[in-house]
Amino acid sequence: MNQESESINAKEIKKRRTFAIISHPDAGKTTLTEKLLLFGGAIQQAGSVKGRKADRHATSDWMEMEKQRGISVTTSVMQFEHKNAIMNLLDTPGHEDFSEDTYRTLTAVDSALMVIDVAKGVENRTIKLMEVCRLRTTPILTFINKLDREGKEPIELLDEVESVLNIECAPMTWPIGMGKRFKGVYHLYEDTIHLFSATHGGKIMQGETIKGLDNPELDALVGDQAEELREEIELVKGASHEFNLEAYLAGTQTPVFFGSAINNFGILELLDAFADYAPSPQGREADQRFVSAQEENFSGFVFKVQANMDPSHRDRIAFLRICSGKFDKGMKINHVRIGKKIQVGNAITFKADSRKNIEEAYSGDIIGLHNHGTIQVGDTFSEGEVLKYSGIPYFAPELFRRVVLKDPLRGKALQKGLVQLTEEGATQLFKPLKNNDLILGAVGILQFDVTAFRLKAEYNVECVYDNVSINTARWVSSDNPAKFEEFKKKAFDNLAKDGGGYLVYLASSRVNLQLTEERWPDIKFSATREL
Ligand code: G4P
């Protein structure tokens, strides 16, 4: 690679902002996603993101949603541009039964946007997701939503974020009233007032802005609230943290914006700041060494696999986050786990309303690889070097069901469907050594219904579930081959293979697990399988 192309790479990489939105269900993630796409010009009309909004509702709603999903804008990755920055927004499911999927996706982003409902404040899911972001010190920008409704006092809310989430808040904008008295936001660093006008539809309007807090125009337009605002701003400036880019990038401070996603309001300020301050693709630890995003050789890892994403294509897509270098159409890349080079001529990229073949992609981008069953979540691809990006575990499921086929003649289709759906990682398939049972394991109960629904819809297989007396699972291994052989013989009735062919001990109860662990000190029982 010559110097010129290297600097083109560096420029392209610098433009990227790869992020996810974290929030408690109902705070407005779907609405905000849609509005970001609208502002980014990736969609023309509000209302076209069906997304996974129904995640939070009952199973039946979720399924209905899935049914209607079709080829619409429900991609897991959405790319759009703003202020010369290229944004890669990674969708994460809202329902907690899908949290594993969310955790894995969060390993593929460089920053996050946190949405908080002004009336509800910091909620459970937000706390959990924040903990996950902390594991990799992911910088977080905050959007306080629904200012068109009555809610908590902004100062109180910032206190709550600071104490519950243990992060400094730096207000960037400040609301002028709320609910019926909501008049707009004041930008503390640009000294401008953006007046609120409700625009529910898909149109983007810049809205009216006034320069300067002391501008008499403000008094003319918002009356008494102008003086209230001036007093409040003085207070806020004295009592809150000043924006500090380094602290934001280090994950210790979150810049805060106020607005109303449904009204397209306050989003431009957020997006501008995001383009200016959010980190471009960061380097990443591999087992072997630290890999910088600017390195010229291509590398990346798969954080998600999805089957039948687009029912009309009926394909399985592996989502790969590029960690270094550049991807060119037709390039040969090394599938490190299986030590095989593959030529990739048809990787896909995701625009909001379409998918198309990629010509090139850079560090920070997500590309979709067609998966024919060889790619697993966690796999690393490189240009040749043996690299393994770590930190994407499979968790031992806590819930188990035996899959019972309604029509015995559909056995083959069932196997195929289960293998393909469990590749996604949300449910895991276990095959006991002692019989031909198919045991599904999941972390959340909704996963079972979704799997049954998708088996019917995507593979035309009907099944029901039986309860099984399995309480938990542990991956087993040992440095002592003789003991391991002995264990395998003795524990044969409790052993199974998982989807990746790894040996798993299925325990009927916690006590059973504990006793077995005590009895076999040479055997390692793991609650996670590192990928
Ligand atoms: P989620 O993805 O985080 O679960 O939230 P979503 O965007 O679906 O928003 C949850 C509800 O909050 C929706 O109402 C949505 O319209 C509403 N909402 C989002 N932003 C704002 C806002 O700025 N102001 C107000 N007042 N409401 C907002 P819903 O009734 O559940 O759905 P819908 O029938 O309106 O689609």
Distance 27 CA to ligand 1 centre (A): 7
Cβ within 8 Å of residue 372, ≥6 positions away: 316
| E strand intervals along 212-262 | 253-258
**Residue to substitute in 26, 35, 102, 199 for testing ligand 1 pocket (most ligand atoms within 8 angstroms of CB):** 26
Tell me the pLDDT tens digit for each residue of 295-324. 999 999 999 888 766 656 667 889 999 999
279: annotated binding-site residue?
A: no
% of residues, the chain, pLDDT over 70: 86
Query: Atom 33 in ligand 1: which residue has the minimum CA distance?
Result: 31
Atom of ligand 1 at shortest range from CA of 56: 4
CB 312 within 8 A of CB 459: no
Distance 245 CA to ligand 1 centre (A): 31
Structure tokens at 402: 């035996």
Question: pLDDT confidence of 46, banded at 50, 70, 90?
Answer: low
3-state secondary structure of 239: helix
Query: Atom 14 in ligand 1: which residue has the minimum CA distance?
Result: 26
Query: Atom 27 in ligand 1: which residue has the minimum CA distance?
Result: 146
Distance 156 CA to ligand 1 centre (A): 23
pTM: 0.82
Query: Atom 10 in ligand 1: which residue has the minimum CA distance?
Result: 26
Query: Atom 30 in ligand 1: which residue has the minimum CA distance?
Result: 26
Q: Please return the burial class of 433, using the count of CB atoms within 10 Å of its CB with bins 0-12, 13-18 and 19+.
A: middle
Distance 52 CA to ligand 1 centre (A): 13
Q: What is the mean pLDDT of residues 245-273?
A: 94
Integer Cα distance of 473 and 398 in angstroms:
8
Q: Give the number of other Cβ atoms within 10 Å of residue 288's Cβ.
A: 11
Query: Atom 19 in ligand 1: which residue has the minimum CA distance?
Result: 28
Distance 30 CA to ligand 1 centre (A): 8
Cβ within 8 Å of residue 475, ≥6 positions away: 396, 498, 502, 503, 504, 505, 525, 526, 528, 529
Structure tokens at 107: 């390993």
Distance 423 CA to ligand 1 centre (A): 32
Q: Give the number of other Cβ atoms within 10 Å of residue 485's Cβ.
A: 11
Distance 53 CA to ligand 1 centre (A): 9
Global ipTM: 0.97
Structure tokens at 180: 């019926």
373, containing H or E segment: none
186, containing H or E segment: strand 184-187
Structure tokens at 462: 């009907």
List, in sequence order, every residue forming a beta bridge with 77; answer none if it has no partner: 90
User: Domains in the chain, please, with CATH?
Assistant: 8-277 (3.40.50.300), 292-382 (3.40.50.300), 396-530 (3.30.70.3280)
Ligand 1: which residues within 6 Å by Cβ?
Answer: 23, 25-31, 53, 56, 94, 145-146, 148-149, 260-263
55: annotated binding-site residue?
A: no
Question: pLDDT confidence of 345, banded at 50, 70, 90?
Answer: confident
**Residue to substitute in 31, 124, 270 for testing ligand 1 pocket (most ligand atoms within 8 angstroms of CB):** 31
Q: What is the mean pLDDT of residues 132-148?
A: 93
List, in sequence order, every residue forming a beta bridge with 286; answer none if it has no partner: 389
Atom of ligand 1 at shortest range from CA of 263: 23
117, containing H or E segment: strand 111-117
% of residues, the chain, pLDDT over 90: 60
CB 112 within 8 A of CB 21: yes
27: annotated binding-site residue?
A: yes
Question: In the prediction, which pLDDT does 392 show?
Answer: 66
Question: In the prediction, which pLDDT does 73 show?
Answer: 31
Lowest-confidence range among 267-281, 336-350, 473-487? 336-350
Integer Cα distance of 403 and 438 in angstroms:
6
Tell me the pLDDT tens digit for each residue of 420-465. 888 877 789 999 999 999 999 988 788 888 889 889 988 999 999 9
What is the rounded (10 degree) CA torsion for 343, 348, 349, 355?
170
Query: Atom 11 in ligand 1: which residue has the minimum CA distance?
Result: 26
Distance 468 CA to ligand 1 centre (A): 39
36: annotated binding-site residue?
A: no
CB 147 within 8 A of CB 270: no
pLDDT at 51 > cutoff 50: no
pLDDT at 4 > cutoff 70: no
Cβ within 8 Å of residue 205, ≥6 positions away: 197, 199, 264
Query: Atom 24 in ligand 1: which residue has the minimum CA distance?
Result: 146
